[in-house]
Amino acid sequence: MNGEPKLRVVIVDDEELARQVLRELAGAHPELEIVAECANGFEAVKAITELKPDLVFLDVQMPKLDGFEVLELTGTNMAIVFATAHDGHALKAFEVHAVDYLLKPFGAERFERALQRARKRIGSPPPPLTQLALAVRPPGQYLDRVVVRDGTRVHIIPTSKLEYVEAQDDYIAIASEGRRYLKQQTISSLEESLDPKCFLRVHRSYIVNLEQVTNIEPYGKDSKVAILKNGTRLPVSRAGYDRLRNVLESR
């Protein structure tokens, strides 16, 4: 690769020994430049956002944020190779368009194959974030928290503290404890990830936490508004009102 730019690499793993193994394997390839090593998901989001690497070796199970949440916050504009001791995440890894999945312990030959696949992926268009957000949710399970990136900072919002969600084009505004957080995601994809027993789409632009609703009032001739505990008033469509009334009456 004489004269060609080096591939910028970020290594993410909470175990120092695992980072050392990847560092040594990558060191045998002069075309690779390790630009950061991260011991948790927060560090990974910051490094990937600031450094924009070509290739990321990413552990799945880590403190603070797992590997799939890291990708949800950073996108997939780089080639991703998961490196983990847990084979149960393999299918989900490929659903989020990882180029390979290294099951620990692995050696130089297996690393080489992953690197070859990564080279082919680099420069290809990334999958849409909506598709990624849907893939990271385990089948049959609902989110118990929502992760949001603000620059290089990460906020973790328990769904129990989520008051309502508002659609804003390709973004959503998440209201929680007096603050609003913007996230690049469609309201429909988030709706599919939330427990329908706790959250309801009351309007094409709004999802509400049912525990936050204190009253429903008329607004104009054919409109309704939902009044939340903090005084927020959310528009309720006709279909949304029917769904909301049925849910509240069944409680």
Tell me the CATH number at 42.
3.40.50.2300
* Last residue of one domain, picked from the residues 134, 161, 183: 134
pLDDT for residue 93: 66
Q: Do 155 and 49 fall into the same domain?
A: no
Residues 72 and 111 in one domain: yes
Lowest mean pLDDT among 95-104, 159-168, 221-230: 95-104
Domain co-membership, 172 together with 195: yes
| C-alpha angle 193-198-199 in degrees, rounded to nearest 5 | 60
Is pLDDT above 80 for 19? Answer: yes
Task: Give 233's contacts (C-beta < 8 A, 6+ positions apart).
Answer: 225, 226, 227
Whether residues 63 and 118 fall in one domain: yes
2 occurs within a structural domain: no
- Does the pLDDT at position 210 exceed 70? yes
List pLDDT tens digits, range 30-76.
Answer: 999 999 999 999 999 999 999 999 999 999 889 889 888 998 898 87
Domain of 124, in residue numbers: 7-134
CA dihedral 129, 135, 136, 140 (to 10 degrees): 140
Residue 1 lies in a domain: no
pLDDT digits (tens, 9 = 90+) for 123-132: 776 655 555 5
The reply to whether 77 and 150 lie within a common domain is no
Residues 153 and 198 reside in one and the same domain: yes
Q: How far apart are CA 214 and CA 199, in angstroms?
A: 14
Q: Is residue 59 part of a domain?
A: yes
- Tell me: pLDDT of 138 over 70: no
Q: Are residues 163 and 85 in the same domain?
A: no
Residue 214 in this model has a pLDDT that exceeds 90: yes
**Residue 23: exposure state from Cβ atoms within 10 A (0-12, 13-18, ≥19):** middle
Place of tokens 């959250």: 199
Do 128 and 12 share a structural domain?
Answer: yes
Positive/negative CA dihedral, 239, 136, 157, 167: negative
Q: What percent of the chain has pLDDT over 90?
A: 61
State which amino acid sits at residue 203. H
Give the model's pLDDT for residue 105: 92
**pLDDT above 60: residue 78:** yes
Pair 13, 111 in one domain: yes
- Among 89, 114, 134, the domain-final residue is 134
Query: Residue 14: what pLDDT?
Result: 95
Question: How many domains does the structure of the chain reveal?
Answer: 2
First to last CA, the chain: 66
* Whether residues 120 and 192 fall in one domain: no
In terms of domains, do 120 and 209 share one?
A: no
Q: Is the pLDDT of residue 109 over 90?
A: yes
Last residue of a domain, one of 134, 161, 186: 134
> With 80 as the cut, is the pLDDT of residue 233 above it?
yes
CATH number at 189 reads 2.40.50.1020
Contacts (Cβ under 8 Å, ≥6 apart) of 82? 58, 59, 60, 67, 89, 93, 98, 100, 101, 102
